[in-house]
Amino acid sequence: MNEDIENISFTIKQEAYKLGFYLCGICKAEEFAFEKKYMNDWLKKDSHGLMHYLEKNFEKRTNPSLLLENAKSIIVVALNYNTINKQPEDSPKFSKYVYGNDYHTVIKSKLYNLCETIKKNNPDSENKICVDTVPILEKTAAQRAGLGWIGKHTCLINKKLGSFFFLGEIVTTLELKYDKPINDYCGTCNKCIESCPTGAIKSQYQLDARKCISYNTIENRGEIPESVFTNLNGWAFGCDICQNVCPWNKKTIENTEPEFDIKSEMLNFNREQWNLISEIEFKRIFKTSAVNRIKFNQWKRNIESL
């Protein structure tokens, strides 16, 4: 291995840790051949429900080398959002990832800083930031970059961190040192499959979004199917059940990102207070939150069923 490549890779990782990313790994920018076939089958079964955007840019999504001319590597980072904070027992539940400010903004700003340093140190490089809106199979990239394995519930799991973290990527023309993918440590455990109240995890690594509470409370703007509607288990936005039961999430490493501090309303409001908020209050409370991805009528639909 060329010493320069090792040094550049090391410096990038150090910079990522300085910016607050808990994990940073690197994989080759190439076609994800196995996952391409898997995704094709998944889409053919309509398991993505109304998320038609997943059908678009299929070639790019499954081959990140097409995202940037002369792309050689993908730098993958993870930002922890886990917390010991809890909502009151009788309150409509929010998935932990929306307790604080919108993660897109937070990760993007950190990745811009990382990109600037990369460019400063390597002026000939071209670098493209990917957060959510750029088509890339980010869990696959993260798995290949050694950040963790994809659990039976289809979230990425890291041995130290569990699964409550966000991912972000930089596709770069730099040749870098690639990390090794790590083993799958799910073993004989099936807790996530057994605990899913709607049977959305049909079998190992097979998620049917149409049955998932998270998909239905966020992505589905129409009617929630009866079998899901009657099994929301108190979830008003998202669902953390399959992650909460996972043995790898037993210990909590508290996030250190001030932007992810839980909103006071989430920490304090009970069911009645949430039931009474107006559209104006809803917009005010969630102005800087990923909860504003849903409309007020979806919010009412979700909480009225709890």
**Residues designated as active site:** 132
Residue 208 CB, nearest approach to ligand SF4 (Å):
9
Tokens coding 76:
């993958």
Which DSSP letter does residue 238 get? -
Q: Are 70 and 175 in contact (CB under 8 A)?
A: no
Minimum distance of ligand SF4 from residue 187's CB (angstroms):
7
Q: Which is nearer to ligand SF4, 129 or 186 (CB)?
A: 186
User: Applying CB under 6 A, which of residues 8, 107, 137, 213 lies at the interface with ligand SF4?
Assistant: 213
Q: Does 101 bind ligand SF4 (CB under 6 A)?
A: no
Q: Which residue among 130, 145, 174, 201 contacts ligand SF4 (CB under 6 A)?
A: 201
Asked if residue 186 binds ligand SF4 (CB under 6 A), the reply is yes
Cβ atoms of residues 241 and 200 within 8 Å: no
| Residue in the shown chain whose Cβ atom is closest to ligand SF4 | 151
Least separation in angstroms between residue 199's CB and ligand SF4 is 8
DSSP string, 139-173: HHHHHHTTS-EE-TTSSEEBTTTBT-EEEEEEEES
Return the number of the residue (182 or 245) whose C-beta is nearest ligand SF4.
Answer: 245
Angstrom distances, CA of residue 266 to CA of 99, 170, 257, 278: 7, 33, 17, 16
**Cα–Cα distance between 156 and 148 in angstroms, integer?**
6
Check residue 47 for interaction with ligand SF4 (CB under 6 A): no
- Asked if 212 is part of the footprint of ligand SF4 (rule: CB under 6 A), the reply reads yes
Binding residues among 235-294 for ligand SF4 as defined by CB under 6 A: 239, 241-242, 245-248
Of 20, 148, 151, 168, the one binding ligand SF4 (CB under 6 A) is 151
Q: For the chain, how far is it from start to end, CA to CA, in angstroms?
A: 57
Residue 137 one-letter amino acid:
L
Site for ligand SF4 contains 165 (CB under 6 A):
no
61 near ligand SF4, judged by CB under 6 A:
no
Cα gap 9→286, rounded to integer Å: 38
DSSP class of residue 206?
E
Residues forming the site for ligand SF4 (CB under 6 A): 151-153, 186, 189-192, 196, 198, 200-201, 207, 212-214, 239, 241-242, 245-248
